[in-house]
Amino acid sequence: MKREQLVDLLMKEFDRKGDGVLSRGEFKDLVKYLIGEHGVGISSRIFERFDDNHDNAISRDELLEVIDEYWL
């Protein structure tokens, strides 16, 4: 599976509001799903690092950067 396909699937699954971005809560759930409970504690730091435009949401492009950085 290509990383773009993976990101599209993750966005579809975790973007509960359907607004095309992941809120902090949605992102926390995604991190927990991908790396388990221990990831919840670092999800805020990851979120802050990759929320490039500081809109308090992770866009598809920002999620691609997360995937590239952490090879999730």
Q: How far is CA 37 from the centre of its chain?
A: 15
Q: What is the pTM of this model?
A: 0.87
Q: What does pLDDT average to over the chain?
A: 92
At 29, which CATH number? Answer: 1.10.238.10
Q: List the domain range (segments joined by +) for residue 49.
A: 3-70
Coil, strand or helix at 27:
helix
Per-residue pLDDT reduced to its tens digit, 58-71: 999 999 999 998 87
* Triad 22, 28, 30: Cα angle to 5°: 70
**Per-residue pLDDT at 22 exceeds 80:** yes
Q: What is the pLDDT of residue 72?
A: 56
What is the signed CA dihedral for 52, 57, 60, 66, rounded to 10 degrees?
Answer: 60
**Per-residue pLDDT at 38 exceeds 80:** no
How many independent structural domains does the chain possess? 1
Per-residue pLDDT reduced to its tens digit, 40-57: 788 899 999 999 999 999
CA distance 62 to 58: 6
